[in-house]
Structure 1
C-alpha cells in the first residue's frame, strides 16, 4: 500500500507511505487507510512553555482491517507520557449512571441470584475509576491472581497495542460465572459526528459494536446487554459472559445496537473514510472563526488542553496570534504549551482575569460543568463556542 499524503490545505505531499499495516486483532494485512492526518506531535506531549521546540512529529493514520473490520491506529512510534488530565464531571456522572443501570439490570447478581462480591478494574491511563461506586454496593477488589465476579474496562482496552493479548487478559480475569463490562467510544458516533480528532497516538483501536461482539466471541464470551450513553457523542457499555453461562440477558439491546451501527456503515471503509473530508472542513472553520474574531477585535481564550485539541490546532495551524492561550483545570498542564503550535496553557483563573469575549471549548461534555465553574464568562457578556470538532456557538443558558 503506497499513498501520498498532502496537508489539509492541499499543498505538496508530506511523504509517501509504503509500509504494510497489520491488524492489531486478527493479524490480517488486508485493509484500507481511511484517515491520514500526516505527521502530528504526540497528543500527550505538552512541552514546557519556554521549550522552543521543534517538537517531534509522527505519522497518525487510521486503517480499517478487511478481515475483521477493526479500525486500527496504523503505527505508533511514540512513547506514552505520564497523563496529566483531570477527570471531567461528565465522566463522573456517566460512571454513576452506568453502575446504576448495570445494577438495575441484575448484573451485580450472580447466576444463582446471590450478590457478586469481587471486582477487577482495567482502567484508562487517563484516570477515572468505578471502584468507589462498586464498593458502595458491596463489591471489593479481588486478590491478585484470582478471577473476579465483575471485570470492568472503562476506555482501557484501546490502549493495548496488541489487541488480542489485551482482550485475552481481561477475559482471563473473569471468574467462571462472572461478567465482563467493556466501555468504549463507538466508531459509529465518531463517524456520525465527523470526530476525526478522536484519532491519536496511544489509542490503538476504535471499536464498533459489531466488531467488538465478534472479538468477544473469539475469546469465548457472548454479549448479554448493551447500554448507550451520550458521553463523547456516543459511548457504549457492553456486558458479556462466557458462552453458555446463565444469568440475566437483554439480547434485544445488543441486537438493536449492532443493527443500527451496521446500517450506519461502520464496516464500510468508504463510510468511515468520510472522516478524511471532515478534517479540513472543521480545521478550516476553526481557523476562519478565530481570524474573524481577531479582525473584529473580539478577545478569545480556549478551554481544555485535551488530546483531541492537539491534532485540531496543528491541522488548522493555529498559533497564539489567533488563540492567545488555552485554560485547563489540570495543574500538570498549566505552564506548558501545546505541541507543534506554541499556544500556552494557563490556569482557569486566567479566564476570569482576562474576561474574554468568547471562550472556545474543545470538549463538548465540559460545557455544563464550565458554565457552572466560570459563570463570569456569560455574566460579563461573553459566550462559549464549542469545537468538537465542528464550530458552533453554545445556546444561551435557559
Structure 2
C-alpha cells in the first residue's frame, strides 16, 4: 500500500515552519503493527522522516498518520536495573521527599517506577491533585503535541515539586548511528540543551542531570519551577550540555549523519545474512522490537534470510514482523532449532539473553548484535541450562 505524499511540517514544540529533514527512511510500516502470521498483507506503509526545527532545535517525527497499537513487549532486565539506579541516584540527591506524593506519566511500552518510589516513602497523588514528584520515563516522546504534553506534566507538579524526565538522548542516537530509533509514534528526540530550553520556556529550570549507559546514553533531568532569575552553574547539568553541544546535536550537519549510518548498517546486515545462507548456516533473530522493524525493512530481510525472530512477549506470539513477513516464535522454539547464529536486535539484552538461553552457545551457536551496527561480541560466560520456563528474555509487561 503506497503512502501519501509528505506534507509541510511545523514544529511540534514551538510551531515554527522552518526546518530540515535530516533523516528520510522512505515508506515504512508502523513499528508497533505486528500482523497475524497468516495475514498475507500488503502491510500499510507511511513516510518515516526526522525533521529538525531551525528555530528551537527539536528533532522530531515529521508526520505520523498511523494509529498506535503498542503490543506490550518484554521489559529487558537492563531497563529494570536502570530504573533502580535512577531512583537510587535521585533519592541520594534529595529529590524524593519521604512522605511526599508522586504521579507517573507512563510509557506505552510498559514498566513503572511506582513500586521503587513507594519503597523510599512516596505515595500516589490523588487524581487531579499536583504531586511533589512527577515522573516521566520515556513518555513525553509519545505526545504528538509537545507543547501540550510538557504543559500537562508541569501542571501535575506541585509548587516546590520536582519534575523528572527520562529520555533516550539524541546525542547517543547520533554518536552511535542509532538511526532506527526513528519510528512512528515517537514524536520527539531530545538533545539535553533543547529540552532544558523547553523547560525554561514554561518556567522550570534543570537542577540535576544524570547520565546512564542504557541504550548507549539515557538521560534523567530533574527540574523545578524557577525561583531566581538568571542561569545557575550546576556541574552535572553543565557537563551534559557541553558534551552534547560538542556532538552537534542541534544542527543539521550533526544529526544528518544518521542517513549514512542507516545505509551502512542495513547493507552490513543483509550482506552478513546472505553470506550465512550461502554457507549453510541457520540464522534466527531475537527481539521483535520496534527498532528491528525499520532495520529489517531497510535491509530487505525476509524469511529467506531470517526464517524467524523470537520474542518473549505474549502479545507478539503468532504474529510477524510487518513489511518483511518474518514470523515471530517463542524463545523455546528458537533454542530447539539449534541456530548457528542468533541476531539480537536490542544490544542491552545481550548479557540477559546469554543467561536465559545458555543452550544457544552450549550447542555451538553464537550471538550477533545488530542494534543497528553489526557486531560479533566475544564469547560469553558459561551458564547453567535454563529450567522449564527459562526461555524468557525479560519480564512480560502486559
- Normalised TM-score (structure 1): 0.93
> In structure 1, the residue corresponding to 2:258 is in which secondary structure?
helix
Query: 2-side partners of 1:61 and 1:293: how far apart?
Result: 32
Counterpart residue number, 1:28:
16
Note if contact 1:149-1:177 (Cα within 8 Å) is conserved in structure 2.
yes
Alignment partner of 1:296 out of 275, 279, 286: 279
Alignment partner of 1:37 out of 25, 28, 33: 25
TM-superposed CA distance for 1:84, in Å, is 2.4
Counterpart residue number, 1:95:
83
Counterpart residue number, 1:311:
294
Query: 2-side partners of 1:305 and 1:19: how far apart?
Result: 30
Query: 2-side partners of 1:181 and 1:16: how far apart?
Result: 37
> In structure 1, the residue corresponding to 2:37 is in which secondary structure?
coil
Q: CA RMSD in A?
A: 1.5
Please list, as runs of the form range in 1=range in 2, the aligned pairs for 1:215-364 lying within 5 A after superposition.
Answer: 215-244=198-227, 251-364=234-347
> In structure 2, the residue corresponding to 1:355 is in which secondary structure?
coil
Counterpart residue number, 2:46:
58
Note if contact 2:6-2:47 (Cα within 8 Å) is conserved in structure 1.
no
Query: 2-side partners of 1:182 and 1:189: how far apart?
Result: 17
Note if contact 1:37-1:60 (Cα within 8 Å) is conserved in structure 2.
yes
> In structure 1, the residue corresponding to 2:314 is in which secondary structure?
coil
- Cα deviation per residue 1:71-118 (whole Å; 9 max; x = unaligned)? 010000000014221111110000000000111111113xxxxx3510
Counterpart residue number, 1:143:
126
Note if contact 1:116-1:149 (Cα within 8 Å) is conserved in structure 2.
no
Query: 2-side partners of 1:292 and 1:140: how far apart?
Result: 55
Counterpart residue number, 1:373:
356
TM-superposed CA distance for 1:215, in Å, is 0.3
Query: 1-side partners of 2:13 and 2:278: how far apart?
Result: 49
> In structure 2, the residue corresponding to 1:45 is in which secondary structure?
coil
Q: Does 1:190 align with 2:178?
A: no
> In structure 2, the residue corresponding to 1:227 is in which secondary structure?
strand
Query: 2-side partners of 1:16 and 1:259: how far apart?
Result: 40
> In structure 1, the residue corresponding to 2:75 is in which secondary structure?
coil
Query: 2-side partners of 1:350 and 1:210: how far apart?
Result: 46
Counterpart residue number, 1:157:
140
Query: 2-side partners of 1:301 and 1:350: how far apart?
Result: 11
Note if contact 1:225-1:250 (Cα within 8 Å) is conserved in structure 2.
no
1:250 to 1:330, Cα distance in 2 relative to 1, 3 A: farther
> In structure 1, the residue corresponding to 2:206 is in which secondary structure?
strand
Q: Does 1:134 align with 2:117?
A: yes
Counterpart residue number, 1:388:
371
Query: 2-side partners of 1:83 and 1:141: how far apart?
Result: 26
1:380 to 1:356, Cα distance in 2 relative to 1, 3 A: same
Segments of structure 1 that go 5 or more residues without pairing to the other structure are 1-13, 110-114
> In structure 2, the residue corresponding to 1:223 is in which secondary structure?
strand
- Cα deviation per residue 1:258-284 (whole Å; 9 max; x = unaligned)? 011001101110110010111111001
